[in-house]
A = this chain, B = another copy of it.
Amino acid sequence: MTHFRDEDTLVREIARQLSRFAGDGVRLGVGDDAAIWKPKPGFETILTSDWFLEGSHFLRDKHPADAVGWKCLARATSDIAAMGGEPRCFLLNLALPAVCTEKWLTGFLAGVRHASRFLRCALAGGDTTRSERISISVTVVGEIAAGRAILRIGARPGDLLYVSGTLGEAELGLRLLRKGRGMARSSDRALHKHLYPEPRIALGRWLARRGLASAMMDLSDGLSSDLPRLCRASGVGAKIELGKLPVLRGLNMKQAQLVALHGGDDYELLFAVPPPKAATLPEKFRELRLTQIGQLRAERRIQVVDEDGTAKALTAAGWDPFRQD
């Protein structure tokens, strides 16, 4: 890749690297003042926008550039999965130090390109500028059949609470990355999940089409931070059972439960299912485990019941950029 003399050349290079396919519904992509998008008839548009900032969300000397590219798109797309929708296109805002416009940018764009193909989500526009630290803001556009989106609002007392996959894996990966020297290599499974998370699009879509979930969100900051958000939106409380959490193997049980409760970045789905529908829910969706971890209730507290049957209040200890420790 050549060194960029100006912004127009940079924009053209990004478009060349990423515009390998046109997204369904994208009427006009990169190159004009704005993009034009039209959902299928009978569908609504889902919009979400996420930060991915050097220092806060990744470290330039630890996270491979292609993982930064993959993850910035994957995590924004996870919000589309969390509504039961399908991603269609994205806008990429990229602010870079001049020193990152060559090798780093090549790696980054390769990661965005792989995620873009894997997620079937096409580049439609964005903005580039220069800055001292790498700043990324990704807006993802998805669609869903009108009225079919699964919101956070809609859960009722008595609904059973489920999560997909395993909890705490990405947090363990982050710890491995912090301990390691230099750039991370993703041969470890937990590290791989931290670097290249896969939003649960197929599961979310399936739950929305079947009308199985009364409320849903993705787990980005950790169960102990995210569950209270779902409960607050629905005006309910919850009781979860520590012994039921789909924890990591290979750690001692106490540690595994702690990272499952508080670890962030898993991008698994948390969803509520009314009891009559829960009977129809399989143990696995494709290869992905679905685990009932507790139940919602009218009393607005959130409690964790340990193996002895002792109930304690759940304290939010997931990731929060503004919390003062």
Which A residues lie at the B interface, using CB under 8 A? 4-10, 27-28, 31-39, 44-51, 53, 55-57, 79-80, 82-83, 85, 91, 93, 95, 98, 101, 124-133, 135, 137, 139, 141-142, 144, 146, 149, 151-153, 217-218, 229, 233, 316, 320-324
Contacts and interface: CB of A to CB of B under 8 A. Distances in A.
B45 A126 contact: no
**Secondary structure at chain A's binding surface: helix, strand, loop or mixed?**
mixed
B33 A321 contact: no
24 contacts: A7-B320, A7-B321, A7-B323, A28-B149, A32-B153, A33-B48, A33-B82, A33-B83, A35-B47, A35-B48, A36-B47, A38-B45, A38-B146, A47-B91, A47-B141, A48-B91, A48-B125, A50-B127, A51-B93, A51-B127, A53-B129, A57-B129, A129-B321, A130-B322
Copies of this chain, how many? 2
Contact of A37 (B27, B45, B323, B324): B45
A49 B131 contact: no
A205 to B, nearest CB: 14
Instruction: Choose among A4, A82, A93 the residue with the greatest number of B CB atoms under 10 Å from its CB.
Output: A93
Contacts of A133: 132
A37 to B, nearest CB: 5
A218 B33 CA distance: 8
A164 B3 CA distance: 36
A218 B95 CA distance: 22
A321 B9 CA distance: 12
B323 A6 contact: yes
A9 B28 CA distance: 38
B37 A95 contact: no
A197 to B, nearest CB: 15
A307 to B, nearest CB: 30
Contacts of A127: 49-51, 137
A46 B27 CA distance: 10
Contact of A5 (B36, B45, B229, B323): B323
A318 to B, nearest CB: 10
A320 B9 CA distance: 11
Given A51-B93, A151-B28, A322-B98, A80 B6 contact: no
Nearest to A47: B35
B321 A149 contact: no
Contact of A47 (B31, B125, B135): B125
